[in-house]
Structure 1
């Protein structure tokens, strides 16, 4: 069982997409990761290792315009394109492992992508995990789209985690986008939020929503309205007191990842 990811590339909807796979020799399930805005899957090594030890083959793409994938940096014209690329990764994993169930895990913008994926292709999923998802109402979108000029202000890395090392690593990471939002991307995100709200319930798909109570990047109450719009008959939520945006990188990350694997165990049982 290797903890080193193998990278592969495929022709995405709008350019070459780089994906990673952490292969388990005999997986109980396949975990698919959808990362957040401006970042890349390389930041999820510790998440992948936890899931690998838990018996999963883990995979996921660097979204178009992110990380090692092609495309203008952080330019997204339509989130449906990113969902389609994610589906290519899921189908590839399913071809390699036809038996095991598939669990989709999305963080932040990746939570938006994962929720939309579940609405469109939920029949092929066994469970969904949403971490600090951009859903429902994200005032940042409205405010930035209303601005005449989008400010070129870097993210305050203190909002990511109470662990200062997370912010330092984020600032030093050359694969992370440190520039301003693009108006086209903001519009695409807003359109997708609306589409998800309109589409509604995820039905019987077991869903686990995790969020930090002190998330200033994607505030809890805005996401809650989105969760209420899509919640089906099997929703579990866990709000971590004082945790910030990246709960998988928080000071209590072991607790959070333990809750995720316990949820997956319940669903698989």
Structure 2
């Protein structure tokens, strides 16, 4: 497990906790963007692989998530979350001036990362989207038909074919196990519409990875979103039989090898 340290900053809606996995003289900076209801601490394995690959890695707990302040799983405007991620990028750049930046987002974090690329692509070297909530996500309009969304917790078995992943998720006290907040669902709907109308990623090299058997963020809905925003340099990897969390899947090493190979292609200095 790679060494890590934490610090906080004042974000758009309160104190935000950041975790950094340092590396001396990194080849690139990796900004990890986690998904709904979880926290950046679930990305230890991913961060360790990236550090060994030559990255200094940074990731925040979004407002209302993990160790950050805010009502649990409550997000009023995802533009605020994008701004918080940008604060993390600015800190990473201050720590390592002139080093290329790669943003890696999973699920809701993929949606945030996609919007981030629309706002800040000029400063990025590459973008990785894992099982991104983008395009059509049927759960949002479905739950918004209720005045108060029902408590329909995520089935841990849908995360990975590795049962230990679901068991750890179910027992994690920093994971939100309650119902969607209506305010958050409205924010999702607004963000998805904003991204759809926000233009393409242009020349930004983008890797899209997705589990073929993703029941939480089904592949067809995300494909429609990717098609709307993709620029001129998109690499796609769909993993047969894989579920939602491809970074925690039984073939996670294959997935992360695809990620690091893609990053190698985009970096100006070549393989480490």
TM-score, normalized by the shorter chain, greater than 0.5? yes
Indicate the residue corresponding to 2:40 in structure 1.
Answer: 41
**1:125-149 alpha-carbon deviations (Å, 9 max, x no partner):** 0000000000000001010011243
Indicate the residue corresponding to 1:97 in structure 2.
Answer: 96
Take 1:5 and 1:106, find their aligned partners in 2: how far apart are those partners? 19
Give the superposition deviation at 1:150: 1.1
**1:170-191 alpha-carbon deviations (Å, 9 max, x no partner):** 0000000000000000000110
Indicate the residue corresponding to 2:180 in structure 1.
Answer: 181
Indicate the residue corresponding to 2:248 in structure 1.
Answer: 249
**Structure 1 stretch 144-153 or stretch 30-39: which is displaced more?**
144-153
Give the superposition deviation at 1:26: 1.1
Take 1:149 and 1:88, find their aligned partners in 2: how far apart are those partners? 33
TM-score of the pair, normalised by structure 1? 0.98
Name stretches of at least 5 consecutive residues in structure 2 with no aligned partner.
none
After superposition, residues 128-147 of structure 1 pair within 5 angstroms as: 128-147=127-146
Take 1:26 and 1:96, find their aligned partners in 2: how far apart are those partners? 10
Matched, 1:168 2:167: yes
User: Any runs of at least 4 consecutive aligned residues in structure 1 with deviations exceeding 3 A, and if so which?
Assistant: none
Indicate the residue corresponding to 1:58 in structure 2.
Answer: 57
Indicate the residue corresponding to 2:70 in structure 1.
Answer: 71
Indicate the residue corresponding to 1:25 in structure 2.
Answer: 24
> SS of the residue aligned with 1:199?
coil
Take 1:71 and 1:65, find their aligned partners in 2: how far apart are those partners? 4
> Over aligned residue pairs, what C-alpha RMSD do you find?
0.8
TM-score of the pair, normalised by structure 2? 0.97
> SS of the residue aligned with 2:20?
strand
Indicate the residue corresponding to 1:225 in structure 2.
Answer: 224
> SS of the residue aligned with 2:164?
helix
Take 1:120 and 1:18, find their aligned partners in 2: how far apart are those partners? 23
Indicate the residue corresponding to 1:259 in structure 2.
Answer: 258
Name stretches of at least 5 consecutive residues in structure 1 with no aligned partner.
none
Take 1:190 and 1:46, find their aligned partners in 2: how far apart are those partners? 31
Take 1:153 and 1:225, find their aligned partners in 2: how far apart are those partners? 25
